[in-house]
Structure 1
Amino acid sequence: MRQLVLGNLNYSSWSIRPLMVARKVALPVEDVIVPLDFPETSARLKEISPTAKVPLLIWDDVTVWESLAITEWIAEWAPPGSVWPEAPAARAIARAAASEMHAGFSELRSKCPMDIRAREATPEMTEKLAADIARIDALWSNLRSTFGKGGPFLFGRWSAADAFYLPVVTRFRTYGLPLSGAAAEYAAAVLEDPDFLRLEEQAKAEPWWIRYGPDGRSSGFLKPEA
Structure 2
Amino acid sequence: MLKLIIGNKAYSSWSLRGWLAVKQSGLPFEEITVPMFDDEWDKRTKGNEFAPSGGKVPILWDDKAVIWDSLAIIEWLADKTGKDRYWPADDAARGMARSMAAEMHSSYQHLRNECSMNVRKQFPAKQLSEPVRQEVTRILQLWAQARARWGTGGPYLFGDFGAVDIMFAPVVTRFVTYSIQVPPFAANYMETILSHPWMQEWISAAQEEPWVIEHYEQTV
User: Structure 1 segments of 4 or more deviating over 4 A?
Assistant: none
Q: Percent identity?
A: 38
Structure 1 residues 194 and 38, CA, compared in 2 at 3 Å: closer, same or farther? same
Contact 2:21 2:73 in 1 (8 A): no
Q: Give per-residue Cα distances to partners, 1:109-150, cap 9 Å, x unaligned.
A: 111110011111233321111101111111111110011011
The residue identity in structure 2 corresponding to 1:137 is: L
Which residue matches 1:95?
Answer: 98
Which residue matches 2:8?
Answer: 8
Secondary structure (helix, strand or coil) at the match of 2:84 reads coil
Paired residues for 1:59-208 under 5 Å: 59-208=62-211
TM-score (ref. length: structure 2): 0.92
**65-74 vs 80-89, which moves further:** 80-89
- Superposition deviation, residue 2 in structure 1: 2.8
Gaps in structure 1 of 5+ consecutive residues:
214-226
Name the structure with the higher strand share: 1
CA distance in 2, matches of 1:121, 1:104: 25
- Superposition deviation, residue 37 in structure 1: 1.1
> Over aligned residues, Cα RMSD in angstroms?
1.4
- Superposition deviation, residue 93 in structure 1: 1.1
- Superposition deviation, residue 24 in structure 1: 2.0
**165-174 vs 114-123, which moves further:** 114-123
The residue identity in structure 2 corresponding to 1:18 is: G
The residue identity in structure 1 corresponding to 2:91 is: P
Contact 2:108 2:135 in 1 (8 A): yes
Q: Give per-residue Cα distances to partners, 1:39-88, cap 9 Å, x unaligned.
A: 33133022112211111011111111111111110111113311111222
Secondary structure (helix, strand or coil) at the match of 2:123 reads coil
TM-score (ref. length: structure 1): 0.90
**How many residues were matched structurally?**
213
Which residue matches 1:31?
Answer: 31
Secondary structure (helix, strand or coil) at the match of 1:94 reads helix
Q: Give per-residue Cα distances to partners, 1:159-218, cap 9 Å, x unaligned.
A: 1100110000001111100111222211111111111111111111111111228xxxxx
The residue identity in structure 2 corresponding to 1:25 is: S
Contact 1:4 1:32 in 2 (8 A): yes
CA distance in 1, matches of 2:71, 2:167: 9
Gaps in structure 2 of 5+ consecutive residues:
none
Name the structure with the higher helix share: 2
* Corresponding position: 1:41 with 2:36: no
The residue identity in structure 2 corresponding to 1:154 is: L
